[in-house]
Amino acid sequence: MRAGFLLLCLFAFPFVVFADANDGQFMGYDLGASDKEASQTAEHTATGNLLVVASSPQKPADIKQVTLVVTPATRTVGYISAASWFATEGEARDSARRYVELLRAKYPDWSLGREVMDAGSRIVEVSFDKAPYNLKLRLVLDTHEGRDMWRFSMGLGWQPGSKEWQAWQDISKAEQSARNSTEREQLLENSDVRGL
């Protein structure tokens, strides 16, 4: 009887058990959620948000690192990225091909397209889309642990221009504005501004 109830729950509420990119979840993190456990040491992105290494990702064994782009104050997740590094381009491309096929099988109703090629006409980026989400796979030459390596990454975010993307952008701008205002006030309080 108890086993039957558990099976009923699994099939009646699949979104609880099987949350994935269709629900904005990737590597154990949710787009739009606040990651209160995000590391206090973070790099600033060019747009003023924070790039943090995920503290407890759920990831395949061959993925080496998961990073999150979060807003500066509430740590609201706006992008989730998973990466691995390889000694050769061939190894990185093999991994990328495997994940393209795996994602095509897992998300057959997502549009596959928007391939980007490098100067040598080799594909270096592929996108999967299903509104409002975008899942991007990318291959680049990178510096990792002090040496040149090939990085394969996958990232989940919102499609630019979607209402979800715009809402996250608005949160980010508001938090940055508040932080900048506080920093300006502190600068003025702690500075000698006579005659200025």
Tell me what pLDDT residue 143 has.
92
pLDDT single digits (tens) 108-163: 999 987 888 888 888 889 999 999 999 999 999 999 999 999 999 999 999 999 99
Amino acid (1-letter code) at residue 124:
V
Q: What is the pTM of this model?
A: 0.80
176 neighbors 48 (Cβ within 8 angstroms): yes
What is the rounded CA–CA span in Å between residue 108 and residue 115?
A: 17
Contacts (Cβ under 8 Å, ≥6 apart) of 139: 89, 92, 93, 96, 123, 124, 125, 150, 151, 152, 153
pLDDT single digits (tens) 85-115: 999 999 999 999 999 999 999 999 999 878 8
Percent of the chain with pLDDT over 70: 79
Tell me what pLDDT residue 186 has.
61
Pairing mode of beta strands 50-53, 111-117: unpaired
What is the rounded CA–CA span in Å between residue 142 and residue 145?
A: 10
pLDDT at 182 over 50: yes
Average pLDDT over every residue of 68-78: 93
